[in-house]
Homo-oligomer: A and B are copies of this chain.
Protein backbone atom coordinates (compact mmCIF):
# COMPACT_ATOMS: atom_id res chain seq x y z
CA UNK A 1 0.00 0.00 0.00
CA UNK A 2 1.40 3.42 -0.88
CA UNK A 3 1.52 6.03 1.87
CA UNK A 4 -1.19 8.04 0.10
CA UNK A 5 -3.54 5.06 0.34
CA UNK A 6 -2.78 4.26 3.97
CA UNK A 7 -5.66 5.48 6.12
CA UNK A 8 -3.33 5.71 9.13
CA UNK A 9 -1.72 8.80 7.56
CA UNK A 10 -5.05 10.55 6.97
CA UNK A 11 -7.65 12.32 9.07
CA UNK A 12 -10.87 11.17 10.64
CA UNK A 13 -12.74 13.35 8.14
CA UNK A 14 -11.07 11.58 5.19
CA UNK A 15 -11.83 8.17 6.64
CA UNK A 16 -15.46 8.67 7.72
CA UNK A 17 -17.50 7.29 10.58
CA UNK A 18 -18.06 3.73 9.40
CA UNK A 19 -14.43 3.08 8.46
CA UNK A 20 -13.34 4.60 11.78
CA UNK A 21 -15.64 2.26 13.69
CA UNK A 22 -14.31 -0.60 11.59
CA UNK A 23 -10.73 0.18 12.63
CA UNK A 24 -11.79 0.34 16.29
CA UNK A 25 -13.73 -2.94 16.27
CA UNK A 26 -12.51 -5.30 13.54
CA UNK A 27 -10.62 -8.36 14.72
CA UNK A 28 -10.95 -7.60 18.44
CA UNK A 29 -11.28 -10.46 20.90
CA UNK A 30 -14.28 -10.41 23.23
CA UNK A 31 -14.80 -12.65 26.27
CA UNK A 32 -17.42 -15.40 25.84
CA UNK A 33 -19.77 -13.30 28.02
CA UNK A 34 -20.21 -10.88 25.09
CA UNK A 35 -23.10 -12.42 23.14
CA UNK A 36 -23.37 -9.56 20.62
CA UNK A 37 -20.50 -7.09 20.29
CA UNK A 38 -20.26 -3.91 18.20
CA UNK A 39 -22.04 -3.66 14.84
CA UNK A 40 -25.73 -4.02 15.61
CA UNK A 41 -28.17 -1.48 17.10
CA UNK A 42 -26.99 -2.51 20.58
CA UNK A 43 -24.71 -5.00 22.28
CA UNK A 44 -25.84 -7.94 24.39
CA UNK A 45 -23.67 -9.11 27.27
CA UNK A 46 -24.11 -11.64 30.03
CA UNK A 47 -25.47 -10.47 33.38
CA UNK A 48 -25.20 -13.79 35.26
CA UNK A 49 -26.16 -12.17 38.56
CA UNK A 50 -29.50 -10.98 37.06
CA UNK A 51 -28.53 -7.48 38.09
CA UNK A 52 -26.19 -5.16 36.23
CA UNK A 53 -23.89 -2.52 37.72
CA UNK A 54 -23.49 0.51 35.48
CA UNK A 55 -21.64 3.83 35.63
CA UNK A 56 -20.54 6.56 33.23
CA UNK A 57 -18.01 9.38 33.05
CA UNK A 58 -17.38 12.09 30.48
CA UNK A 59 -13.84 13.38 29.82
CA UNK A 60 -13.22 16.67 28.04
CA UNK A 61 -9.87 17.59 26.48
CA UNK A 62 -8.17 20.42 28.36
CA UNK A 63 -10.29 19.76 31.43
CA UNK A 64 -9.80 16.08 32.29
CA UNK A 65 -6.69 15.43 30.24
CA UNK A 66 -4.02 17.36 28.39
CA UNK A 67 -2.67 16.00 25.13
CA UNK A 68 0.67 17.76 25.77
CA UNK A 69 1.12 15.63 28.91
CA UNK A 70 -0.71 12.45 27.97
CA UNK A 71 -0.52 10.45 24.76
CA UNK A 72 -3.77 9.39 23.11
CA UNK A 73 -2.97 5.87 24.35
CA UNK A 74 -2.73 7.16 27.93
CA UNK A 75 -6.03 9.04 27.60
CA UNK A 76 -7.77 5.89 26.42
CA UNK A 77 -6.34 3.84 29.26
CA UNK A 78 -7.23 6.39 31.95
CA UNK A 79 -10.76 6.83 30.64
CA UNK A 80 -11.42 3.11 31.01
CA UNK A 81 -9.53 2.86 34.34
CA UNK A 82 -11.58 5.51 36.09
CA UNK A 83 -14.85 3.88 35.07
CA UNK A 84 -13.57 0.41 35.99
CA UNK A 85 -12.78 1.83 39.44
CA UNK A 86 -16.43 2.84 39.90
CA UNK A 87 -17.51 -0.72 39.11
CA UNK A 88 -14.89 -2.09 41.51
CA UNK A 89 -16.13 0.34 44.18
CA UNK A 90 -19.49 -1.47 44.19
CA UNK A 91 -17.66 -4.76 44.76
CA UNK A 92 -18.32 -5.85 41.19
CA UNK A 93 -16.32 -7.30 38.32
CA UNK A 94 -16.20 -5.39 34.99
CA UNK A 95 -18.05 -7.10 32.14
CA UNK A 96 -17.98 -4.51 29.35
CA UNK A 97 -17.46 -0.91 28.28
CA UNK A 98 -19.08 1.45 25.78
CA UNK A 99 -17.11 4.37 24.38
CA UNK A 100 -18.48 7.47 22.69
CA UNK A 101 -16.08 9.92 21.16
CA UNK A 102 -16.44 13.34 19.62
CA UNK A 103 -13.43 14.79 17.81
CA UNK A 104 -12.58 17.30 15.07
CA UNK A 105 -12.62 15.94 11.52
CA UNK A 106 -8.98 17.04 11.28
CA UNK A 107 -7.94 14.55 13.98
CA UNK A 108 -5.26 12.17 12.70
CA UNK A 109 -6.42 8.60 12.25
CA UNK A 110 -3.16 7.52 13.91
CA UNK A 111 -4.17 9.42 17.07
CA UNK A 112 -7.57 7.72 17.12
CA UNK A 113 -5.83 4.39 16.58
CA UNK A 114 -3.61 5.09 19.61
CA UNK A 115 -6.62 6.12 21.69
CA UNK A 116 -8.45 2.96 20.66
CA UNK A 117 -5.42 0.84 21.51
CA UNK A 118 -5.32 2.42 24.97
CA UNK A 119 -9.03 1.86 25.53
CA UNK A 120 -8.69 -1.78 24.53
CA UNK A 121 -5.50 -2.32 26.54
CA UNK A 122 -7.12 -1.19 29.77
CA UNK A 123 -10.45 -2.90 29.08
CA UNK A 124 -8.52 -6.13 28.55
CA UNK A 125 -6.41 -5.55 31.67
CA UNK A 126 -9.54 -5.47 33.80
CA UNK A 127 -10.93 -8.61 32.15
CA UNK A 128 -13.48 -7.10 29.77
CA UNK A 129 -13.83 -5.59 26.29
CA UNK A 130 -15.40 -2.68 24.43
CA UNK A 131 -18.81 -3.83 23.31
CA UNK A 132 -20.16 -0.69 21.66
CA UNK A 133 -19.90 3.04 21.15
CA UNK A 134 -20.41 6.01 18.92
CA UNK A 135 -18.17 8.46 17.06
CA UNK A 136 -19.07 11.92 15.89
CA UNK A 137 -17.52 15.23 14.93
CA UNK A 138 -17.02 18.09 17.36
CA UNK A 139 -14.73 20.97 18.26
CA UNK A 140 -12.52 19.04 20.59
CA UNK A 141 -11.92 15.54 21.89
CA UNK A 142 -14.67 14.45 24.27
CA UNK A 143 -14.88 10.88 25.52
CA UNK A 144 -17.80 9.32 27.29
CA UNK A 145 -17.32 5.90 28.83
CA UNK A 146 -19.93 3.59 30.27
CA UNK A 147 -18.82 0.57 32.30
CA UNK A 148 -20.91 -2.47 33.20
CA UNK A 149 -20.24 -4.98 35.93
CA UNK A 150 -21.50 -8.11 37.61
CA UNK A 151 -21.95 -8.59 41.36
CA UNK A 152 -21.39 -12.39 41.25
CA UNK A 153 -24.26 -12.93 43.69
CA UNK A 154 -23.03 -10.50 46.34
CA UNK A 155 -24.90 -7.43 47.59
CA UNK A 156 -23.47 -4.18 46.17
CA UNK A 157 -21.14 -2.35 48.56
CA UNK A 158 -22.67 1.10 48.97
CA UNK A 159 -21.33 4.35 50.34
CA UNK A 160 -23.98 4.27 53.03
CA UNK A 161 -23.08 1.19 55.07
CA UNK A 162 -20.23 2.33 57.36
CA UNK A 163 -20.95 1.66 61.07
CA UNK A 164 -19.37 3.06 64.23
CA UNK A 165 -16.63 0.68 65.31
CA UNK A 166 -15.59 -0.13 61.73
CA UNK A 167 -12.10 0.66 60.50
CA UNK A 168 -11.32 2.78 57.42
CA UNK A 169 -8.85 1.27 54.94
CA UNK A 170 -7.24 1.92 51.56
CA UNK A 171 -6.44 -0.67 48.88
CA UNK A 172 -3.28 1.19 47.83
CA UNK A 173 -1.30 4.41 48.17
CA UNK A 174 -2.86 7.77 47.34
CA UNK A 175 -1.24 11.03 46.26
CA UNK A 176 0.78 9.53 43.44
CA UNK A 177 -1.47 11.05 40.76
CA UNK A 178 -1.45 14.44 42.51
CA UNK A 179 2.34 14.33 42.87
CA UNK A 180 2.64 13.51 39.16
CA UNK A 181 0.34 16.39 38.31
CA UNK A 182 2.45 18.77 40.41
CA UNK A 183 5.62 17.52 38.72
CA UNK A 184 4.08 18.15 35.28
CA UNK A 185 3.02 21.63 36.38
CA UNK A 186 6.56 22.33 37.57
CA UNK A 187 8.07 20.95 34.36
CA UNK A 188 9.97 18.28 36.29
CA UNK A 189 10.75 14.87 34.83
CA UNK A 190 12.48 13.55 37.97
CA UNK A 191 9.99 10.85 38.95
CA UNK A 192 8.72 9.16 35.81
CA UNK A 193 6.65 6.64 37.81
CA UNK A 194 4.68 9.49 39.37
CA UNK A 195 4.16 11.16 35.99
CA UNK A 196 2.94 7.81 34.69
CA UNK A 197 0.65 7.38 37.73
CA UNK A 198 -0.95 10.71 36.87
CA UNK A 199 -1.39 9.79 33.22
CA UNK A 200 -2.73 6.29 33.88
CA UNK A 201 -3.79 4.98 37.30
CA UNK A 202 -3.51 1.19 37.50
CA UNK A 203 -5.43 -0.06 40.52
CA UNK A 204 -5.90 -3.83 40.81
CA UNK A 205 -9.37 -4.71 39.45
CA UNK A 206 -9.54 -7.62 41.90
CA UNK A 207 -9.54 -5.27 44.92
CA UNK A 208 -13.25 -4.42 44.70
CA UNK A 209 -14.61 -7.97 44.60
CA UNK A 210 -12.06 -8.97 47.29
CA UNK A 211 -13.31 -6.20 49.58
CA UNK A 212 -16.91 -7.25 48.98
CA UNK A 213 -16.08 -10.89 49.77
CA UNK A 214 -14.35 -9.70 52.96
CA UNK A 215 -17.56 -7.95 54.00
CA UNK A 216 -16.76 -4.29 53.35
CA UNK A 217 -19.55 -2.22 54.92
CA UNK A 218 -19.05 0.81 52.63
CA UNK A 219 -16.75 1.65 49.74
CA UNK A 220 -15.91 4.18 47.05
CA UNK A 221 -12.94 4.80 44.79
CA UNK A 222 -10.55 7.69 45.40
CA UNK A 223 -11.36 10.07 42.58
CA UNK A 224 -11.84 13.35 44.52
CA UNK A 225 -9.09 12.69 47.10
CA UNK A 226 -9.18 10.68 50.34
CA UNK A 227 -10.67 13.56 52.33
CA UNK A 228 -13.29 14.32 49.71
CA UNK A 229 -14.24 10.69 49.19
CA UNK A 230 -14.22 9.97 52.92
CA UNK A 231 -16.65 12.89 53.09
CA UNK A 232 -18.98 11.00 50.76
CA UNK A 233 -18.83 7.85 52.91
CA UNK A 234 -19.31 9.93 56.06
CA UNK A 235 -22.30 11.85 54.69
CA UNK A 236 -24.06 8.86 53.18
CA UNK A 237 -23.39 6.58 56.16
CA UNK A 238 -24.12 9.32 58.74
CA UNK A 239 -20.94 8.56 60.67
CA UNK A 240 -17.73 10.34 61.59
CA UNK A 241 -14.52 9.18 59.95
CA UNK A 242 -11.21 9.95 61.64
CA UNK A 243 -8.05 9.46 59.61
CA UNK A 244 -4.72 8.88 61.33
CA UNK A 245 -2.09 10.85 59.38
CA UNK A 246 0.67 8.56 60.61
CA UNK A 247 -1.10 5.58 59.08
CA UNK A 248 -1.21 7.05 55.57
CA UNK A 249 1.18 5.33 53.18
CA UNK A 250 3.46 7.86 51.54
CA UNK A 251 5.66 6.13 48.96
CA UNK A 252 9.32 7.18 48.99
CA UNK A 253 9.14 8.81 45.54
CA UNK A 254 6.17 10.90 46.69
CA UNK A 255 8.20 12.00 49.75
CA UNK A 256 11.12 12.94 47.49
CA UNK A 257 8.89 14.77 45.00
CA UNK A 258 7.44 16.73 47.95
CA UNK A 259 10.95 17.77 48.97
CA UNK A 260 11.77 18.80 45.38
CA UNK A 261 8.62 20.90 45.05
CA UNK A 262 8.36 22.14 48.65
CA UNK A 263 5.01 20.41 49.22
CA UNK A 264 3.99 18.37 52.26
CA UNK A 265 3.36 14.97 50.64
CA UNK A 266 0.59 14.30 53.17
CA UNK A 267 -1.42 16.95 51.30
CA UNK A 268 -1.15 14.91 48.12
CA UNK A 269 -2.00 11.68 49.93
CA UNK A 270 -5.06 13.17 51.65
CA UNK A 271 -6.21 15.79 49.16
CA UNK A 272 -5.10 14.53 45.74
CA UNK A 273 -7.60 12.78 43.51
CA UNK A 274 -7.55 10.36 40.61
CA UNK A 275 -5.55 7.52 42.18
CA UNK A 276 -8.66 5.35 41.83
CA UNK A 277 -7.62 2.98 44.59
CA UNK A 278 -10.49 1.97 46.89
CA UNK A 279 -11.47 3.50 50.23
CA UNK A 280 -13.64 1.21 52.33
CA UNK A 281 -14.82 0.43 55.82
CA UNK A 282 -14.70 -3.01 57.40
CA UNK A 283 -15.38 -4.65 60.72
CA UNK A 284 -12.02 -4.55 62.49
CA UNK A 285 -11.11 -8.19 61.79
CA UNK A 286 -12.23 -8.14 58.15
CA UNK A 287 -9.64 -5.88 56.47
CA UNK A 288 -8.34 -7.86 53.47
CA UNK A 289 -4.68 -8.69 53.01
CA UNK A 290 -2.90 -5.92 51.14
CA UNK A 291 -5.19 -3.17 52.43
CA UNK A 292 -3.93 -0.54 54.86
CA UNK A 293 -5.90 0.70 57.87
CA UNK A 294 -5.91 4.48 57.89
CA UNK A 295 -8.60 5.37 60.39
CA UNK A 296 -11.72 4.64 62.35
CA UNK A 297 -15.49 5.08 62.17
CA UNK A 298 -17.44 6.54 65.07
CA UNK A 299 -20.82 8.09 65.81
CA UNK A 300 -21.05 11.66 64.58
CA UNK A 301 -20.54 13.50 61.30
CA UNK A 302 -17.74 14.71 59.07
CA UNK A 303 -14.12 13.80 58.43
CA UNK A 304 -11.19 14.61 60.67
CA UNK A 305 -7.45 13.97 60.48
CA UNK A 306 -5.96 13.13 63.88
CA UNK A 307 -9.19 14.45 65.38
CA UNK A 308 -9.03 17.83 63.63
CA UNK A 309 -11.04 18.96 60.61
CA UNK A 310 -8.76 18.94 57.56
CA UNK A 311 -7.79 22.38 56.22
CA UNK A 312 -5.80 21.23 53.19
CA UNK A 313 -6.60 21.76 49.51
CA UNK A 314 -10.18 21.35 48.41
CA UNK A 315 -11.34 18.52 46.20
CA UNK A 316 -11.71 18.60 42.44
CA UNK A 317 -14.63 20.60 41.07
CA UNK A 318 -16.15 20.17 37.62
CA UNK A 319 -17.03 23.82 36.92
Interface residues of A, Cβ cutoff 8 Å to B: 12-13, 16-17, 35-36, 39-60, 63-64, 85-87, 89-90, 92, 96, 98-102, 105, 131-140, 142, 144, 146-149, 151, 156, 158-160, 219-221, 236, 317-319
Contacts and interface: CB of A to CB of B under 8 A. Distances in A.
A40 B91 CA distance: 12
A221 B41 CA distance: 8
Nearest to A11: B319
B319 A52 contact: no
29 contacts: A16-B319, A17-B317, A35-B51, A40-B156, A41-B87, A41-B89, A41-B159, A41-B219, A42-B86, A42-B90, A44-B52, A44-B53, A44-B90, A44-B156, A45-B52, A46-B51, A50-B50, A54-B132, A54-B146, A55-B132, A56-B146, A57-B134, A58-B102, A60-B137, A63-B137, A102-B142, A136-B318, A137-B319, A146-B146
A144 B100 contact: yes
A112 to B, nearest CB: 11
A42 B35 contact: no
A275 to B, nearest CB: 15
B41 A142 contact: no
Contacts of A220: 40-41
A45 B156 CA distance: 11
3 closest A-B pairs by beta carbon, nearest first, are A144-B144, A47-B47, A42-B55
A48 B45 CA distance: 13
B54 A133 contact: no
Contact of A236 (B39, B100, B139, B317): B39
A134 B36 contact: no
B51 A45 contact: yes
Contacts of A36: 90, 156, 158
Contacts of A151: 44
Contacts of A138: 60, 63, 142
A64 B105 CA distance: 15
A57 B319 contact: no
Contacts of A92: 42
A56 B156 contact: no
A89 B55 contact: no
Nearest to A104: B319
Contacts of A43: 53-55
Given A57-B134, A158-B36, A319 B12 contact: yes
A56 B105 CA distance: 21
Nearest to A57: B134
A13 B102 CA distance: 23
A88 to B, nearest CB: 8
B140 A139 contact: yes
Contact of A48 (B35, B44, B50, B139): B50
Contact of A53 (B42, B53, B134, B319): B42
